[in-house]
């Protein structure tokens, strides 16, 4: 603590023995030891108090940051809830007007789709359309159809029977050539 070497301590002990004498030296050494011990405990207590205050200050800062983060998340969630609620109200209003006058809203544009959150994927209008299941009346893919007014009207297609299906050539036969 005071950076005293052993040789310096011996010199101090010899001088104290000469000045104080052999009778008082043990009592003075004991008192000095008690005072040094008290001083070390006092310094350690002050250090512990300072460390404790620093930790409390850090905890207060952390608590304040967490409260600010919680408030920002709360505001974000409330905003999203309000946006979804307004979307539902708009859809409900659109539905009510459509039920009230079905012909007036038949050709109107659908309400715009809100952009999803950052983490979600965007949903396109094509993804929202129901999947079309092929019917038994549709010809196989290798049969070509003739464009006709019947097709434009949604009537039955006329398959070409003289168009062969695509040829399947095995890869080994196509690459083998004799030299």
| pLDDT value at residue 88 | 92
169 lies in some domain:
no
| pLDDT value at residue 150 | 59
Average pLDDT over residues 43-64: 96
Burial tier of 20 (Cβ tally within 10 Å: 0-12, 13-18, 19+): middle
What residues have CB less than 8 Å from 94, skipping those under 6 apart? Answer: 105, 111
Tell me, yes or no, if the pTM score tops 0.85: no
90 lies in some domain:
yes
27 lies in some domain:
yes
Task: Calculate Rg over the CA atoms of the chain.
Answer: 46
178 lies in some domain:
no
User: What angle (nearest 5°) sits at the alpha carbon of residue 89, between those of residues 83 and 92?
Assistant: 145
| pLDDT value at residue 119 | 47
- H-helix or E-strand spanning residue 21: helix 6-100
Q: Which domain holds residue 8?
A: 1-101
Give which of 44, 43, 45, 9 is closest to 29, Cα–Cα: 9
Tokens of 78: 């409330």
Report whether 39 contacts 31 (CB < 8 A): no
Report whether 146 contacts 160 (CB < 8 A): yes
Lowest mean pLDDT among 11-25, 80-94, 153-167: 153-167
173 lies in some domain:
no
Backbone angles phi, psi at 145, to 5 degrees: -115, 155
Report whether 143 contacts 150 (CB < 8 A): no
Residue 79 reports pLDDT greater than 80: yes
Average pLDDT over residues 69-81: 96
| pLDDT value at residue 143 | 47
Q: Give the C-alpha separation, 160 to 157, whole Å.
A: 10
92 lies in some domain:
yes
Condensed to tens digits (0 to 9), the pLDDT of residues 101-144 reads: 655 555 666 666 665 554 445 455 555 555 555 455 555 554 44
As a whole number, the mean pLDDT across the chain is: 75
97 lies in some domain:
yes
Tokens of 162: 């003289």
| pLDDT value at residue 73 | 96
9 lies in some domain:
yes
| Residues in the chain, total | 179
The number of domains in the chain is 1
């Amino acid at each position: 603590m005071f950076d005293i070497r052993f040789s310096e301590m011996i010199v101090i002990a010899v001088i104290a023995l000469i000045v104080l004498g052999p009778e008082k030296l043990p009592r003075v050494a004991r008192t000095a030891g008690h005072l040094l011990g008290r001083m070390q405990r006092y310094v350690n207590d002050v250090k512990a108090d300072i460390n404790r205050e620093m930790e409390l200050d850090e905890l207060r800062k952390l608590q304040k940051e967490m409260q600010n983060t919680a408030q920002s998340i709360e505001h974000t969630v409330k905003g999203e809830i309000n946006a979804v609620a307004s979307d539902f109200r708009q859809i409900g209003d659109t539905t009510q007007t459509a039920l009230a006058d079905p012909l007036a809203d038949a050709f109107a544009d659908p309400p715009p789709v809100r952009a999803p959150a950052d983490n979600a994927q965007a949903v396109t209008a094509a993804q929202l359309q129901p999947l079309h299941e092929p019917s038994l009346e549709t010809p196989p893919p290798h049969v070509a159809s003739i464009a006709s007014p019947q097709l434009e009207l949604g009537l039955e297609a006329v398959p070409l029977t003289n168009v062969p299906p695509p040829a399947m050539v095995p890869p080994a036969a196509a690459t083998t050539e004799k030299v």
